[in-house]
Amino acid sequence: MKSILENSRRLVVKVGSSLVTNSGAGLDHVAIANWAAQIAELKKMGREVVLVSSGAVAEGMQRLGWKKRPGAMHELQAAAAVGQMGLVQVYESCFRQHGLRTAQILLTHDDLSDRKRYLNARTTLRTLLELNVIPIINENDTVVTDEIRFGDNDTLGALVTNLIEADTLVILTDQSGLFSADPRKDPAASLVQEARAGDPELEKMAGGAGSDIGRGGMLTKILAAKRATRSGAHTIIASGREQGVLVRLARGEAIGTQLIAETMPIAARKQWLADHLQIRGKLVLDEGAARALRQEGKSLLPIGVCDVSGDFERGEVVTCVDQNGREIARGLVNYDAGEARKIMRHPSSEIESILGYVDEPELIHRDNLVLL
């Protein structure tokens, strides 16, 4: 078995807190220099690389003399603000040794949930890659709230993978990969070398909580791979403790767990819809409407909607579920929640008589809808 990274041109590499810090006691400069050297080698091999790096909060904790990760949002934001300075300084100096320039990108969920800002972020990242600059991305912990935070950099890595249409997401951790069971508890647990991204069985195998320093456990990595596969990207989960892991993967050596995407890449607009984490409402569809979406590629008409929940405006993202509650699709809705409730179960020809006007005959047009 060969590494899928061998034929990947554009990569997103996510490095966890444990791989860039001294067990949470500030940044590990030697480790970061090693990551910079490996990425510089990947650049020589003709690869485009975006780096998603944890470590800002851990560095801030060290600078502030805190031994335990804060729970209060304002303290977390303060630690991130302090630590981000050190994180960027170290990366900049390390990459400069290899003649490479870096750019800091801080993102919140709002940046990717708003269509205009999503496109701006996408254009910026693509431009940086064209300029041969290494984008270093982190969640903007300084301004996030519980409602808009990604929650972990594994999810952020997957969203960035979709955003720039990367070929592969590499999640580097302090574990060897995904095991069939928790190796700490089950001595018979074996490393899963290759599987299909999105396979529900993988979520059952994944362990629970992460360390006191980081936020992500194995489950977040499995879910990140599931998210990345929506745009046709593969995922590798491997140990960052392996000597030269990135370069070896790029040369074809199989290390860790490879999660293969079996879906074809979808259009950027539909990637954005599929990865929209903030759903503003829910539409329950009857059997005919569910079939029309799933099997016939049709738009969603108001007559096929049984129930409307949530408080959403025109143009916001809503989820479409069948009568058993299974999510079928997500899309940009053409009417607000109040209007949708009035026209549901009615044919499109009656929209004008009910509302006094008609914007669109569809509740969600198929061009603004993605099946899940």
**Domain CATH number, residue 212:** 3.40.1160.10
Exposure string of 206-222, with b = 16+ CB inside 10 Å and e = fewer, is bbeebeebbbbbbbbbb
> Looking at the DSSP assignment, which residues form a beta bridge with residue 191?
179
Instruction: Examine the fold and report which residue of 271, 303, 334 is the final residue of a domain before the chain moves on.
Output: 271
Same domain membership, residue 290 and residue 267: no
| 185 contacts: CB under 8 Å, gap ≥ 6 | none
Same domain membership, residue 231 and residue 306: no
Same domain membership, residue 111 and residue 21: yes
Split into its structural domains, the chain has a count of: 2
Same domain membership, residue 193 and residue 83: yes
Measured in whole angstroms, the distance separating CA 306 from the mean position of its chain's CA atoms is 32
Instruction: Examine the fold and report which residue of 255, 271, 287 is the final residue of a domain before the chain moves on.
Output: 271
Query: In terms of residue numbers, what domain contains 212?
Result: 4-271
pLDDT at 35: 97
CA atoms of 366 and 353, how far apart (whole Å)? 24
- Name the range with the highest mean pLDDT among 197-206, 218-227, 252-261: 252-261
Instruction: Examine the fold and report which residue of 230, 247, 271 is the final residue of a domain before the chain moves on.
Output: 271
Q: What are phi and psi of 102, to 5 degrees?
A: -125, 160
CA atoms of 262 and 366, how far apart (whole Å)? 23
Whether residue 229 is predicted with pLDDT greater than 80 in this model: the reply is yes
- Contacts within 8 Å (CB) and 24+ apart, 124-131: 125/50, 125/160, 125/163, 125/164, 126/164, 128/103, 129/10, 129/48, 129/50, 129/164, 131/101
Express as a percent the part of the chain with pLDDT over 70. Answer: 92
Exposure string of 243-281, with b = 16+ CB inside 10 Å and e = fewer, is eebbbbbbeebbbbbbbebeeeebebebbbbbbbeeebb
Whether residue 168 is predicted with pLDDT greater than 50 in this model: the reply is yes
Mean pLDDT for the chain overall: 88
Same domain membership, residue 103 and residue 144: yes
| 212 contacts: CB under 8 Å, gap ≥ 6 | 24, 68, 69
Same domain membership, residue 306 and residue 286: yes
Query: 319: domain CATH number?
Result: 2.30.130.10
Same domain membership, residue 13 and residue 114: yes
| 59-116: pLDDT as tens digits | 898 899 998 888 788 888 898 899 999 999 999 999 999 999 999 999 887 787 776 7
pLDDT at 208: 46
Same domain membership, residue 101 and residue 183: yes
Same domain membership, residue 297 and residue 163: no
Same domain membership, residue 160 and residue 21: yes
CA atoms of 255 and 242, how far apart (whole Å)? 9
Whether residue 255 is predicted with pLDDT greater than 60 in this model: the reply is yes
Mean pLDDT of 228-246: 93
Q: Helix, strand or coil for residue 29?
A: helix
CA atoms of 215 and 55, how far apart (whole Å)? 11
Which of 183-187, 234-238, 243-247, 281-285 is the least confident region?
183-187
Same domain membership, residue 236 and residue 137: yes
Q: Are 238 and 177 in contact (CB under 8 A)?
A: yes
| pLDDT tier at 210, thresholds 50, 70, 90 | very low
Same domain membership, residue 288 and residue 259: no
CA atoms of 150 and 143, how far apart (whole Å)? 12
